Amino acid sequence: MNSASIAAVKKLLSVPQKIVIVPHKNPDGDAIGSTLALWHYLSNLGQKAVIISPNDYPKFLKWLPGNAHILNFERENSQAKEAIENATVVFTLDFNHLGRIGQMHAVLEEKEATFVMIDHHQAPSDYAEIMYSDVLMSSTCEMVYNFIEFLGDTSKITPEIANCLYTGIMTDTGSFKFSSTTSRTHKVVAELIEKGAENTKIHNHIYDTNSPSRLHLLGCALKNMVILTAYRTAYITLTQEELDTYDYQKGDTEGFVNYGLTIENIRFAVIFIENREEGIIKISFRSEGDFSVNEFARNHFDGGGHNNAAGGKSDTNMKETTAHFVSLLEHYKDKLMA
Ligand code: 5GP
Ligand code: MN
Protein backbone atom coordinates (compact mmCIF):
# COMPACT_ATOMS: atom_id res chain seq x y z
CA MET A 1 0.00 0.00 0.00
CA ASN A 2 1.58 3.31 -1.01
CA SER A 3 1.96 6.22 1.38
CA ALA A 4 -0.73 8.29 -0.35
CA SER A 5 -3.27 5.48 0.15
CA ILE A 6 -2.25 5.04 3.78
CA ALA A 7 -2.68 8.76 4.37
CA ALA A 8 -6.08 8.67 2.63
CA VAL A 9 -7.25 5.78 4.83
CA LYS A 10 -6.01 7.53 7.98
CA LYS A 11 -7.92 10.66 7.00
CA LEU A 12 -11.02 8.64 6.20
CA LEU A 13 -10.99 6.87 9.56
CA SER A 14 -10.23 10.04 11.53
CA VAL A 15 -13.94 10.88 11.50
CA PRO A 16 -17.00 8.67 12.14
CA GLN A 17 -18.04 6.73 9.02
CA LYS A 18 -20.75 4.29 8.15
CA ILE A 19 -18.85 1.38 6.71
CA VAL A 20 -19.95 -1.59 4.65
CA ILE A 21 -17.50 -4.48 4.20
CA VAL A 22 -18.08 -6.89 1.31
CA PRO A 23 -16.50 -10.27 0.46
CA HIS A 24 -16.97 -12.03 -2.91
CA LYS A 25 -19.89 -14.35 -3.70
CA ASN A 26 -19.52 -17.88 -2.30
CA PRO A 27 -17.01 -16.53 0.20
CA ASP A 28 -14.18 -18.80 1.32
CA GLY A 29 -12.03 -18.77 4.45
CA ASP A 30 -9.96 -15.85 3.24
CA ALA A 31 -13.00 -13.76 2.29
CA ILE A 32 -14.86 -14.38 5.55
CA GLY A 33 -11.70 -14.24 7.69
CA SER A 34 -10.54 -10.93 6.22
CA THR A 35 -13.93 -9.20 6.36
CA LEU A 36 -14.50 -10.31 9.96
CA ALA A 37 -10.98 -9.24 11.02
CA LEU A 38 -11.47 -5.83 9.44
CA TRP A 39 -14.94 -5.57 11.01
CA HIS A 40 -13.53 -6.27 14.50
CA TYR A 41 -10.72 -3.78 13.95
CA LEU A 42 -12.95 -0.96 12.68
CA SER A 43 -15.64 -1.60 15.30
CA ASN A 44 -13.00 -1.50 18.05
CA LEU A 45 -11.90 1.88 16.68
CA GLY A 46 -15.46 3.07 17.28
CA GLN A 47 -16.53 3.01 13.63
CA LYS A 48 -19.96 1.78 12.62
CA ALA A 49 -19.33 -1.19 10.35
CA VAL A 50 -21.38 -4.01 8.86
CA ILE A 51 -20.38 -6.99 6.72
CA ILE A 52 -22.67 -7.94 3.85
CA SER A 53 -22.01 -11.28 2.17
CA PRO A 54 -23.54 -11.64 -1.33
CA ASN A 55 -24.81 -15.12 -0.37
CA ASP A 56 -24.43 -17.95 2.11
CA TYR A 57 -21.16 -19.73 2.91
CA PRO A 58 -20.07 -23.08 4.39
CA LYS A 59 -20.88 -24.10 7.94
CA PHE A 60 -17.21 -24.71 8.70
CA LEU A 61 -16.69 -20.91 8.63
CA LYS A 62 -19.60 -20.03 10.90
CA TRP A 63 -17.73 -20.53 14.18
CA LEU A 64 -15.53 -17.51 13.47
CA PRO A 65 -15.87 -14.74 16.06
CA GLY A 66 -18.35 -12.09 14.88
CA ASN A 67 -20.05 -14.43 12.38
CA ALA A 68 -23.51 -13.71 13.79
CA HIS A 69 -23.18 -10.07 12.68
CA ILE A 70 -22.73 -10.89 8.98
CA LEU A 71 -25.73 -9.95 6.85
CA ASN A 72 -26.63 -12.20 3.93
CA PHE A 73 -27.66 -10.06 0.93
CA GLU A 74 -30.02 -12.79 -0.30
CA ARG A 75 -31.63 -13.56 3.04
CA GLU A 76 -31.61 -10.14 4.74
CA ASN A 77 -32.05 -8.16 1.59
CA SER A 78 -33.84 -5.04 2.84
CA GLN A 79 -31.57 -4.67 5.87
CA ALA A 80 -28.52 -5.09 3.63
CA LYS A 81 -29.80 -2.59 1.06
CA GLU A 82 -30.48 -0.06 3.79
CA ALA A 83 -26.94 -0.45 5.16
CA ILE A 84 -25.53 0.11 1.67
CA GLU A 85 -27.75 3.13 1.16
CA ASN A 86 -26.46 4.73 4.36
CA ALA A 87 -22.81 3.81 3.83
CA THR A 88 -20.13 6.46 3.45
CA VAL A 89 -17.31 3.95 2.93
CA VAL A 90 -17.34 0.55 1.20
CA PHE A 91 -14.46 -1.90 1.75
CA THR A 92 -14.33 -4.69 -0.85
CA LEU A 93 -12.16 -7.64 0.20
CA ASP A 94 -10.74 -10.63 -1.66
CA PHE A 95 -12.07 -9.66 -5.10
CA ASN A 96 -11.32 -6.92 -7.59
CA HIS A 97 -14.21 -6.45 -9.96
CA LEU A 98 -17.85 -5.96 -9.13
CA GLY A 99 -18.90 -8.93 -11.28
CA ARG A 100 -17.70 -11.14 -8.41
CA ILE A 101 -20.54 -10.21 -6.03
CA GLY A 102 -23.55 -11.62 -7.89
CA GLN A 103 -26.80 -9.68 -7.44
CA MET A 104 -25.08 -7.12 -5.23
CA HIS A 105 -23.21 -5.60 -8.15
CA ALA A 106 -26.24 -3.66 -9.39
CA VAL A 107 -26.56 -1.93 -6.00
CA LEU A 108 -22.85 -1.24 -5.50
CA GLU A 109 -22.23 -0.02 -9.05
CA GLU A 110 -24.71 2.80 -8.42
CA LYS A 111 -23.43 3.53 -4.94
CA GLU A 112 -21.71 6.84 -4.21
CA ALA A 113 -19.20 6.31 -1.41
CA THR A 114 -15.46 5.98 -0.93
CA PHE A 115 -14.52 2.50 -2.10
CA VAL A 116 -11.46 0.81 -0.62
CA MET A 117 -10.17 -2.41 -2.25
CA ILE A 118 -7.93 -4.88 -0.43
CA ASP A 119 -7.19 -7.82 -2.71
CA HIS A 120 -4.58 -10.19 -4.14
CA HIS A 121 -6.15 -11.28 -7.46
CA GLN A 122 -4.86 -10.41 -10.92
CA ALA A 123 -6.08 -7.55 -13.13
CA PRO A 124 -8.00 -5.27 -10.74
CA SER A 125 -10.67 -3.03 -12.21
CA ASP A 126 -10.80 0.62 -11.25
CA TYR A 127 -13.94 1.07 -9.12
CA ALA A 128 -12.02 1.84 -5.89
CA GLU A 129 -10.65 5.23 -4.96
CA ILE A 130 -8.22 3.67 -2.52
CA MET A 131 -6.56 0.47 -3.75
CA TYR A 132 -4.36 -1.98 -1.91
CA SER A 133 -3.86 -4.60 -4.61
CA ASP A 134 -0.91 -7.01 -4.57
CA VAL A 135 -0.92 -10.26 -6.55
CA LEU A 136 2.15 -11.52 -4.71
CA MET A 137 0.29 -11.75 -1.41
CA SER A 138 -0.67 -15.17 -0.06
CA SER A 139 -4.11 -13.99 1.00
CA THR A 140 -6.29 -10.99 1.67
CA CYS A 141 -5.91 -11.84 5.36
CA GLU A 142 -2.15 -11.27 5.17
CA MET A 143 -2.95 -7.93 3.52
CA VAL A 144 -5.40 -6.96 6.29
CA TYR A 145 -2.60 -7.66 8.78
CA ASN A 146 -0.37 -5.33 6.74
CA PHE A 147 -3.17 -2.78 6.51
CA ILE A 148 -3.47 -2.68 10.31
CA GLU A 149 0.32 -2.42 10.53
CA PHE A 150 0.37 0.47 8.02
CA LEU A 151 -2.01 2.30 10.35
CA GLY A 152 0.37 1.67 13.26
CA ASP A 153 -2.15 -0.47 15.06
CA THR A 154 -0.72 -4.01 15.44
CA SER A 155 -1.11 -3.54 19.19
CA LYS A 156 -4.86 -3.46 18.54
CA ILE A 157 -4.92 -7.00 17.12
CA THR A 158 -7.17 -8.90 19.52
CA PRO A 159 -7.42 -12.72 19.77
CA GLU A 160 -10.63 -12.47 17.68
CA ILE A 161 -8.82 -10.62 14.90
CA ALA A 162 -5.88 -13.03 15.15
CA ASN A 163 -8.18 -16.06 14.79
CA CYS A 164 -9.92 -14.57 11.75
CA LEU A 165 -6.68 -13.62 9.99
CA TYR A 166 -5.01 -16.95 10.75
CA THR A 167 -7.99 -18.79 9.25
CA GLY A 168 -7.81 -16.97 5.92
CA ILE A 169 -4.04 -17.28 5.59
CA MET A 170 -4.25 -20.99 6.38
CA THR A 171 -7.06 -21.72 3.90
CA ASP A 172 -5.69 -19.59 1.03
CA THR A 173 -2.19 -21.10 1.30
CA GLY A 174 -3.41 -24.71 1.52
CA SER A 175 -2.07 -24.77 5.10
CA PHE A 176 1.10 -22.83 4.24
CA LYS A 177 2.18 -25.00 1.31
CA PHE A 178 1.32 -23.04 -1.87
CA SER A 179 4.09 -21.09 -3.58
CA SER A 180 2.49 -17.82 -2.46
CA THR A 181 3.61 -18.66 1.11
CA THR A 182 6.65 -16.52 1.95
CA SER A 183 8.84 -16.10 5.01
CA ARG A 184 6.83 -12.95 5.64
CA THR A 185 3.62 -15.04 5.65
CA HIS A 186 5.15 -17.23 8.37
CA LYS A 187 6.25 -14.16 10.33
CA VAL A 188 2.70 -12.77 10.20
CA VAL A 189 1.29 -16.14 11.26
CA ALA A 190 3.79 -16.31 14.14
CA GLU A 191 2.66 -12.85 15.26
CA LEU A 192 -0.97 -13.93 15.06
CA ILE A 193 -0.28 -16.93 17.31
CA GLU A 194 1.48 -14.55 19.74
CA LYS A 195 -1.65 -12.42 19.70
CA GLY A 196 -3.96 -15.31 20.49
CA ALA A 197 -4.72 -17.24 17.29
CA GLU A 198 -5.57 -20.81 18.33
CA ASN A 199 -3.92 -22.64 15.44
CA THR A 200 -4.87 -26.21 16.38
CA LYS A 201 -8.47 -25.28 17.11
CA ILE A 202 -8.75 -23.38 13.83
CA HIS A 203 -7.40 -26.34 11.90
CA ASN A 204 -9.91 -28.67 13.55
CA HIS A 205 -12.81 -26.32 12.89
CA ILE A 206 -11.97 -26.03 9.20
CA TYR A 207 -10.69 -29.47 8.23
CA ASP A 208 -12.03 -31.96 10.76
CA THR A 209 -15.76 -31.44 10.38
CA ASN A 210 -16.46 -33.98 7.65
CA SER A 211 -19.93 -35.50 7.48
CA PRO A 212 -20.15 -39.12 6.27
CA SER A 213 -22.07 -37.91 3.19
CA ARG A 214 -19.28 -35.48 2.29
CA LEU A 215 -16.75 -38.30 2.31
CA HIS A 216 -19.08 -40.38 0.15
CA LEU A 217 -19.38 -37.44 -2.24
CA LEU A 218 -15.57 -37.29 -2.33
CA GLY A 219 -15.57 -40.99 -3.18
CA CYS A 220 -17.95 -40.29 -6.06
CA ALA A 221 -15.80 -37.38 -7.27
CA LEU A 222 -12.62 -39.47 -7.23
CA LYS A 223 -14.37 -42.29 -9.08
CA ASN A 224 -15.45 -39.79 -11.74
CA MET A 225 -11.93 -38.45 -12.23
CA VAL A 226 -10.65 -38.53 -15.80
CA ILE A 227 -6.88 -38.56 -16.22
CA LEU A 228 -5.44 -37.30 -19.49
CA THR A 229 -1.75 -38.11 -19.22
CA ALA A 230 -1.10 -36.77 -22.73
CA TYR A 231 -1.95 -33.31 -21.37
CA ARG A 232 -0.82 -33.83 -17.77
CA THR A 233 -4.41 -33.01 -16.84
CA ALA A 234 -6.97 -34.56 -14.50
CA TYR A 235 -10.57 -33.47 -14.23
CA ILE A 236 -13.53 -34.34 -12.04
CA THR A 237 -17.24 -33.92 -12.74
CA LEU A 238 -20.12 -33.80 -10.28
CA THR A 239 -23.67 -33.56 -11.62
CA GLN A 240 -26.57 -32.11 -9.66
CA GLU A 241 -27.98 -35.61 -9.38
CA GLU A 242 -24.79 -36.84 -7.74
CA LEU A 243 -24.74 -33.86 -5.38
CA ASP A 244 -28.34 -34.61 -4.40
CA THR A 245 -27.58 -38.30 -3.85
CA TYR A 246 -24.94 -37.39 -1.28
CA ASP A 247 -26.98 -34.64 0.39
CA TYR A 248 -24.63 -31.88 -0.81
CA GLN A 249 -24.21 -28.97 1.61
CA LYS A 250 -22.46 -25.72 0.74
CA GLY A 251 -18.69 -26.16 1.07
CA ASP A 252 -18.74 -29.95 0.71
CA THR A 253 -16.71 -29.88 -2.52
CA GLU A 254 -14.04 -27.55 -1.10
CA GLY A 255 -10.61 -29.00 -1.83
CA PHE A 256 -11.79 -31.83 -4.12
CA VAL A 257 -10.06 -30.27 -7.12
CA ASN A 258 -6.65 -30.57 -5.45
CA TYR A 259 -6.68 -34.37 -5.57
CA GLY A 260 -5.87 -34.28 -9.29
CA LEU A 261 -2.58 -32.54 -8.57
CA THR A 262 -1.50 -35.24 -6.13
CA ILE A 263 -1.05 -37.63 -9.07
CA GLU A 264 2.53 -37.83 -10.28
CA ASN A 265 3.16 -35.72 -13.41
CA ILE A 266 -0.29 -34.10 -13.34
CA ARG A 267 0.05 -30.33 -13.61
CA PHE A 268 -3.49 -29.18 -14.34
CA ALA A 269 -6.50 -30.20 -12.25
CA VAL A 270 -10.10 -29.15 -12.79
CA ILE A 271 -13.48 -29.81 -11.21
CA PHE A 272 -16.81 -29.18 -12.95
CA ILE A 273 -19.80 -28.91 -10.62
CA GLU A 274 -23.31 -28.62 -11.93
CA ASN A 275 -25.55 -25.99 -10.31
CA ARG A 276 -29.04 -26.57 -11.67
CA GLU A 277 -30.55 -23.66 -9.76
CA GLU A 278 -28.21 -21.16 -11.42
CA GLY A 279 -28.19 -23.06 -14.70
CA ILE A 280 -24.40 -23.19 -14.83
CA ILE A 281 -21.45 -25.49 -14.41
CA LYS A 282 -19.14 -23.92 -11.82
CA ILE A 283 -15.51 -24.71 -12.51
CA SER A 284 -12.38 -24.64 -10.35
CA PHE A 285 -8.93 -24.75 -11.93
CA ARG A 286 -5.64 -25.56 -10.21
CA SER A 287 -2.12 -25.92 -11.59
CA GLU A 288 1.40 -26.63 -10.50
CA GLY A 289 4.27 -24.60 -11.97
CA ASP A 290 4.06 -22.00 -14.74
CA PHE A 291 0.77 -22.95 -16.41
CA SER A 292 -1.52 -20.00 -15.70
CA VAL A 293 -5.04 -21.14 -14.86
CA ASN A 294 -5.97 -17.48 -14.41
CA GLU A 295 -5.39 -16.94 -18.13
CA PHE A 296 -7.12 -20.19 -19.05
CA ALA A 297 -10.19 -19.35 -16.96
CA ARG A 298 -10.26 -15.77 -18.25
CA ASN A 299 -9.88 -16.77 -21.91
CA HIS A 300 -12.37 -19.64 -22.02
CA PHE A 301 -14.67 -19.79 -18.99
CA ASP A 302 -15.63 -16.24 -18.05
CA GLY A 303 -13.50 -16.40 -14.90
CA GLY A 304 -10.15 -15.54 -13.38
CA GLY A 305 -8.16 -15.74 -10.16
CA HIS A 306 -4.49 -16.46 -9.59
CA ASN A 307 -1.77 -18.19 -11.64
CA ASN A 308 -2.23 -21.51 -9.84
CA ALA A 309 -5.86 -21.27 -8.64
CA ALA A 310 -8.76 -19.83 -10.57
CA GLY A 311 -12.45 -20.30 -11.18
CA GLY A 312 -14.99 -19.83 -13.93
CA LYS A 313 -18.30 -21.04 -15.29
CA SER A 314 -20.06 -22.46 -18.31
CA ASP A 315 -23.65 -22.06 -19.51
CA THR A 316 -23.72 -25.30 -21.50
CA ASN A 317 -24.43 -28.72 -20.03
CA MET A 318 -21.84 -30.99 -18.41
CA LYS A 319 -21.19 -33.08 -21.50
CA GLU A 320 -20.68 -30.09 -23.77
CA THR A 321 -18.63 -28.25 -21.18
CA THR A 322 -16.17 -31.07 -20.62
CA ALA A 323 -15.98 -31.81 -24.38
CA HIS A 324 -15.15 -28.15 -25.01
CA PHE A 325 -12.61 -28.22 -22.20
CA VAL A 326 -10.85 -31.29 -23.59
CA SER A 327 -10.82 -29.78 -27.08
CA LEU A 328 -8.97 -26.73 -25.72
CA LEU A 329 -6.14 -28.75 -24.21
CA GLU A 330 -4.45 -29.41 -27.57
CA HIS A 331 -3.83 -25.65 -27.91
CA TYR A 332 -2.10 -25.65 -24.54
CA LYS A 333 -0.14 -28.86 -25.02
CA ASP A 334 3.25 -27.15 -25.25
CA LYS A 335 2.67 -25.17 -22.07
CA LEU A 336 1.29 -28.18 -20.21
CA MET A 337 4.15 -30.47 -21.22
CA ALA A 338 6.94 -27.86 -20.80
P1 5GP B 1 -12.28 -21.56 -6.25
O2 5GP B 1 -11.95 -22.46 -7.38
O3 5GP B 1 -11.69 -22.04 -4.96
O4 5GP B 1 -13.71 -21.19 -6.17
O5 5GP B 1 -11.52 -20.21 -6.59
C6 5GP B 1 -10.16 -20.14 -6.88
C7 5GP B 1 -9.75 -18.69 -7.07
O8 5GP B 1 -10.38 -18.18 -8.24
C9 5GP B 1 -10.20 -17.79 -5.93
O10 5GP B 1 -9.20 -16.85 -5.71
C11 5GP B 1 -11.46 -17.15 -6.44
O12 5GP B 1 -11.64 -15.87 -5.90
C13 5GP B 1 -11.24 -17.10 -7.95
N14 5GP B 1 -12.50 -17.34 -8.68
C15 5GP B 1 -13.36 -18.37 -8.50
N16 5GP B 1 -14.40 -18.28 -9.36
C17 5GP B 1 -14.20 -17.16 -10.09
C18 5GP B 1 -14.95 -16.52 -11.14
O19 5GP B 1 -16.01 -16.97 -11.59
N20 5GP B 1 -14.41 -15.37 -11.64
C21 5GP B 1 -13.22 -14.85 -11.18
N22 5GP B 1 -12.77 -13.71 -11.73
N23 5GP B 1 -12.52 -15.42 -10.20
C24 5GP B 1 -12.97 -16.56 -9.66
MN1 MN C 1 -8.08 -14.93 -1.19
pLDDT at 307: 94
Q: Quick one: pLDDT at residue 42?
A: 98
β-pair type (48-53, 18-22): parallel
> Model-level pTM?
0.96
Residue 333 has pLDDT above 90, yes or no: yes
Residue with the nearest Cα to atom 24 of ligand 1? 311
Please write the tens of the pLDDT for every residue from 164-192.
Answer: 999 999 999 999 999 999 999 999 999 99
Cα 335 to Cα 264: distance, rounded to the nearest angstrom:
17
pLDDT value of position 159: 98
Sign of the torsion formed by the C-alpha atoms of 185, 190, 191 and 193? positive
Residue 51 reports pLDDT greater than 90: yes
Ligand nearest the Cα atom of residue 257: 1
With H, G, I as helix, E, B as strand and everything else as coil, classify residue 61.
helix
Contact residues of ligand 1, CB 6 A cut-off: 24, 100, 121, 284, 303-306, 309-313
- Strands 309-314, 304-305: pairing is antiparallel
Name the pLDDT band for 323 (thresholds 50, 70, 90). very high
Residue 321 has what pLDDT? 98
Closest residue (by CA) to atom 16 of ligand 1? 311
- pLDDT exceeding 70 applies to what percent of the chain? 100
d(CA 41, CA 45): 6
Mean pLDDT rounded to a whole number for the chain: 97
Dist CA 41 CA 43 (whole Å): 6
Query: Distance between CA 338 and CA 336 in Å, rounded?
Result: 6
Average pLDDT over residues 81-98: 98
Go through the domains of the chain in sequence order and give each one's CATH number.
Answer: 3-207 (3.90.1640.10), 212-337 (3.10.310.30)
Reduced to 3 states (helix: H, G, I; strand: E, B; else coil), residue 283 is strand
Sheet holding 89-93, edge to edge: 71-72, 48-53, 18-22, 89-93, 114-119, 130-133
Q: For residue 298, give the ligand 1 atom closest to its CA.
A: 22
Q: What is the pLDDT of residues 58-78, one digit of tens each?
A: 999 999 999 999 999 999 999
Are the CB atoms for 297 and 304 separated by under 8 Å? yes
Decide if pLDDT at 284 tops 90.
yes
Note the pLDDT tens digit of each residue in 127-168: 999 999 999 999 999 999 999 999 999 999 999 999 999 999
Ligand nearest to the CA of 26: 1
Given this model, what pLDDT does residue 214 score? 97
Distance 31 CA to ligand 2 centre (A): 6
The residue-averaged pLDDT of 209-219 equals 97
Nearest atom of ligand 1 to the alpha carbon of 310: 8
What pLDDT is stored for residue 338 in this prediction?
A: 86
